[in-house]
Structure 1
Amino acid sequence: MRIEVDGLRVAYDGRTVVAGVNLLAAPGEITGLIGPNGSGKSSVLRTVYRHLRPAAGRVLLDGTDLAALAPARAARHVAALPQERGGDFELTVREVVAMGRTPYKRAFAGEDEKDRRIVADALERVGMTRYGGRRFSALSGGERQRVLLARTLAQDPDVLVLDEPTNHLDVRHQVELLALLRAQHRTTLVSLHDLNAAASVCDRLHVLHAGEVVASGTPLEVLTPHLLAEVFGVRAAVIEHPLTGDPLIAFDHTATAAETPS
């Protein structure tokens, strides 16, 4: 399914933080949002998974306004992994993942065999099968992140919305998570701080700066030395990754863009 953000404006306490954003997440592709802190990435994502109501504009799912859908129906289509991870659930890991099946259940309905199979598969895909009986509150930050990702997978959505999903993960699990997203072939909208991760996993990037989209395109089209200097304030070269052929950003840690003569 396709996600379109059409003329989106978001404001907090009268201050506009997202100003007229238009972007597209194409069916089956991974679409990345990148930009400095405060550029509006999380605010855009929160409107997509309906945590925020925009001041103007719409979020369309295959042409249907998501705001017009009942919550349970919307949750069958769109699953989110937000930055706000919630409290320390006094539940087991398996029980947390099983919460992803809630949009498909009637009130007080129990699990069936399909639910149990989907939950087990989601735990396996994030490498947390042997943790199923542990308390969620006893896990490390990285382990919790993987469990919450499993919960979104158990929701079996058409669209995944992920806000900084690699936070708290060590290098190995970052690589595994990005590979897992690629293997899903599911429409995915993700914000990432790590520009090299974005270059490796995303089919398309939208660059936000001061609440506006300032560039869109493939990683190779978008991640240029000029854009990195203008938007992120860094001096960098963009080369070809020797293993994957993706764009690879080599940062100059001796000077910022502002300190470098033009």
Structure 2
Amino acid sequence: MELAAKELTVRRGKKEIIKHASVFVKNKQFVGLIGPNGCGKSTLLKSIYKSLTPESGTVYLDNLDVLKSSEKQVSQKLGVVGQFNEMSFDLTVEQMVLLGRTPHKKLLEPDQPNDFHRVDEALRRTRLTDYRKRSYLSLSGGEKQRVILARTIAQQPQLMILDEPTNHLDIRYQFEILSCVKQLGISVLAALHDLELAVMYCDYVYAVKDGDVYAHGKPEEVLTPKIIEALYQIKCQTFINPVTHRLGFAYGL
């Protein structure tokens, strides 16, 4: 599944929040969006998955015109994991994950054996099998995020959008969420605030500044001292970690 979001513009009142931004995800590619808070990452993602309606631009999933297609058509191909998942009513973990099957069912159609099979697989992948009958509201923040990921996995998307899904989680849950997504082997577009996570998981990176794409390329091409300073107004040096052999960062030098 390939994503082509071209020349997207989003306004709030008279202010242009997203300015003719284009983002592409190749089949089974893990693509990251980086940039400071308020740069427009989440707004750009929301305009791609139809939570916001862009003023102009196009979004295609392969040949599917996302902006002109029904929510059900889009949801059969695209899944979203956001950063805030609070609810005012309670369901069990199993019931929450079963909601991921909704795009594949007719109105009022009962759950079928295949739905439960997909739920079982999603719970196994997210290591939540023993949580099946637990109350969702009783879970910790990291556990809730794993449930939302399981629900999205049960949806069987061919492309997954992650809207900073780890920014309020401790390091254990950050790795669990992103490693699980990476192992799915599907196309992914993820807004990330941690540059080291971007290096670890992303095949390609878009740097967003003031609502526009400032730079894009492989992580080592984009995450340079010059670009990082331009994005975050902080000096840093990059180096190759002798243990992981990945790009690392030393700030404030």
- TM-score w.r.t. the length of structure 2 is 0.96
Greater shift in the superposed pair: 64-73 or 48-57: 64-73
Asked whether the 8 Å contact 1:2–1:61 carries over to 2, the reply is yes
Match of 1:228 in 2: 228
Structure 1: 5+ residue stretches without partners: 256-262
Q: Which residue of 2 aligns with 1:83?
A: 83
Matches of 2:44 and 2:213, distance apart in 1: 11
Aligned partner of 2:147 in structure 1 is: 147
Report the Cα offset of residue 21 of structure 1.
Answer: 0.2
Letter of the 2:237 counterpart: A
* Counterpart code for 2:194: D
Aligned residues: 253
Deviating above 3 A after TM superposition, structure 1's stretches of 4 or more consecutive aligned residues are none
Conserved 8 A contact 1:31-1:189: yes
Aligned to 2:247: 247
8 Å Cα contact 1:88-1:136 kept in structure 2: no
Distance 1:142 1:89 in 2: 19
Give per-residue Cα distances to partners, 1:2-41, cap 9 Å, x unaligned. Answer: 1111100011122111000011111101000000111110
Letter matched to residue 75 of structure 1: S
Aligned residues with identical type, % of pairs? 36
For 1:83 and 1:166, how far apart are their aligned partners in 2? 7
Tell me the equivalent position of 2:179.
179
Kept after mapping to 1: 8 A contact 2:7/2:58: yes
Question: Which structure 2 residue ranges, 5 or more long, are not aligned?
Answer: none
Q: Distance in 2 between matches of 1:176 and 1:155?
A: 19
Deviations, residues 106-158 of structure 1 (Å, cap 9, x unaligned): 11111111111110111111121111111111111111111001111110001
Q: What is the RMSD computed on CA atoms of the aligned residues?
A: 1.3
The amino acid of 1:236's aligned partner reads C
Provide the residue aligned with 1:70 in structure 2. 70
C-alpha separation in 1, matches of 2:100 and 2:243: 36
SS of alignment partner, residue 174 of structure 2: helix
Pair 209,133 (structure 1): closer, same or farther in 2 beyond 3 Å: same
Cα distance between partner residues in 1 of 2:81 and 2:89:
16
**Residues 35 and 231 of structure 2 are in contact (CA less than 8 Å); yes or no, is this contact kept in structure 1?**
yes
Which residue of structure 1 aligns with residue 163 of structure 2?
163
Q: 1:37 maps to which residue?
A: 37
Is the 2:18–2:44 contact (alpha carbons within 8 Å) kept by the matching residues of 1? Answer: yes
Which residue identity lines up with residue 150 of structure 2 in the other structure? A
**1:86 positional shift:** 4.2
| Cα deviation, residue 215, structure 1 | 0.3
Q: Is the 8 A contact 1:89 1:136 kept in 2?
A: no
Q: CA deviation at 1:247?
A: 1.3
Whether the 8 Å CA contact 1:46–1:52 is kept in 2: the answer is yes
Opposite residue 71 of structure 1, the aligned amino acid is E
Classify the secondary structure of the residue corresponding to 1:234.
Answer: coil
**Residue pair 2:167, 2:193 contacting (<8 A) in 1 also:** no
